[in-house]
Structure 1
Amino acid sequence: MYDLHTHTTISDGELIPTELVRRAAVLGYKTLAITDHVDASNISEAIKGINAIKISAGHYGVRLLSGVEITHVPPKEIAELAKRARNEGADIVVVHGETVVEPVCPGTNMAACRCSDVDILAHPGLLTEEEACEARINNVALEITSRGGHNRTNGHVYRVAKVSGCNILVNSDTHGPDDLMTETARKSVAIGCGMTPGEAENILSDKALDHFR
């Protein structure tokens, strides 16, 4: 199993990074990305902190990816900050999308979808087909999420992503120990947004991670 969108005490999560890794390992996760909320003020520290525990994660059998979630940053600054994250050692760059439950600046989805340094657009809300087409061109994966509130538009996101031929991932947006999904919960989220069992099997497997190898 994988989860490429989680948070720790480095931003607004409840667990220190190593405890999050341990809890994920017990549930059967083999790949985990820690993607704490960042802007220009804390991006360097967030990346450095996660890179520091990769050896510890390996002892628990988890491939840990250091990441960031660029959050509420003005759209004009997203590309520059994503490139900075890459240059400073981030394995995964996530952008906090235009969820319907937060006042994310309009234009954030498009800025992320047009940026080749972005890997995942998280909980993109009422994503447009134009945005999804840009995501496909730039190999930006679109997220189906289990996070309360953000998951209101999962069905819409899946339909638009599928029609546009985008990469799709299922993530938890974990902030606390109860947010990590079991295998059964992951399947429920996937099928609940409209995937067939066969589609869910592929998207939930490590086949979905080819872009991150």
Structure 2
Amino acid sequence: MGRIDLHTHTLLSDGELLPTELASRAEELDHDVLGLTDHVGLSNLDDVVDQTVKAAERISESMDIDVIPGVELSYVPISLISDLAEEARGLGAKIIVVHGETMVEPVPPGTNIAALKCEDVDILAHPGIISQEEVELAENTGTYLEITSRRGHSLTNGRVVKLAGEIGAKLLVNTDAHSPDDLITYQESEAIALGAGCDEDALETILKDNPNSILEERV
């Protein structure tokens, strides 16, 4: 079964591979769709989106994988998250991810709330010790909360899944891949979701339906 990963990084930010090689590695692991969401902020938004859009178009035309251009807004001042998300969308980014308040990095407090209030944001990545208020806001706005396979960020997957299940917020599994070894198969994504506490009967929704809903709306 084909995998969809909507949060990855390349040499355009702090990843190890060119977009073409990352896509090739993902194709080998039976990915149907790969989102390129390199880190952007105030200094590099225009250049990264421009290069990502061009790369995604050419890779999708020449390989058997759909590559979607996106960004991960990272360490953006809280008051500017909405503005940069809108700007990224206008420049051609189809998927807008915000670098959430992971417990293993000093992300500015309030980032989660600001992201969840922004209509241009699709995914709140690795949201850390997320609050009930934040999950309720995610459910209300339809923003997707990430279950991540990335070391460190994944420490709070269980809390994210528990609160999302109680409140009804939408989940999906991403890798936040920075290196080829970070990419995972569909079967591995099932194991990660189950290990985080997801019900087996929810796997198809989390792994296929939810990411496809983002693609249907944004691409």
Q: Equivalent of 1:13, from 12, 15, 35?
A: 15
* Matched residue SS, 1:209: helix
Write out per-residue CA displacement over residues 27-70 of structure 1, whole angstroms, 9 at most, x where no aligned residue: 10011100000101111111111111223233222111111000
Identity %: 46
Matched, 1:110 2:113: yes
Greater Cα offset, 137-146 or 6-15? 137-146
Alpha-carbon distance between aligned partners in 2 of 1:207 and 1:4, rounded to the nearest angstrom: 11
* Matched residue SS, 1:35: strand
Q: Equivalent of 2:162, from 155, 159, 163?
A: 159
Write out per-residue CA displacement over residues 50-98 of structure 1, whole angstroms, 9 at most, x where no aligned residue: 1112232332221111110000111111111111111111100000000
Write out per-residue CA displacement over residues 88-147 of structure 1, whole angstroms, 9 at most, x where no aligned residue: 111000000000000000000000011111000000001111111211222210000000
Q: Equivalent of 2:46, from 44, 47, 68?
A: 44
* Matched residue SS, 1:65: strand
User: Normalising by structure 2, what TM-score?
Assistant: 0.94
Gaps in structure 2 of 5+ consecutive residues:
none
Alpha-carbon distance between aligned partners in 2 of 1:73 and 1:123, rounded to the nearest angstrom: 16
Alignment of 1:197-212 (within 5 A): 197-212=200-215
> AA paired with 1:116?
E
Matched, 1:2 2:4: yes
Alpha-carbon distance between aligned partners in 2 of 1:76 and 1:163, rounded to the nearest angstrom: 30
Alignment of 1:20-35 (within 5 A): 20-35=22-37
Contact persistence 2:9–2:36 (CA under 8 A): yes
Gaps in structure 1 of 5+ consecutive residues:
none
Alignment of 1:1-213 (within 5 A): 1-53=3-55, 54-213=57-216
Contact persistence 1:21–1:57 (CA under 8 A): no
User: Normalising by structure 1, what TM-score?
Assistant: 0.96
Q: Which runs of 4+ in 1 moved over 4 A?
A: none
> AA paired with 1:2?
I
Report the RMSD for the aligned CA atoms in angstroms. Answer: 1.1
Contact persistence 1:116–1:139 (CA under 8 A): no
Q: Tell me how far 1:161 sits from its aligned partner.
A: 1.5
Contact persistence 2:36–2:70 (CA under 8 A): yes
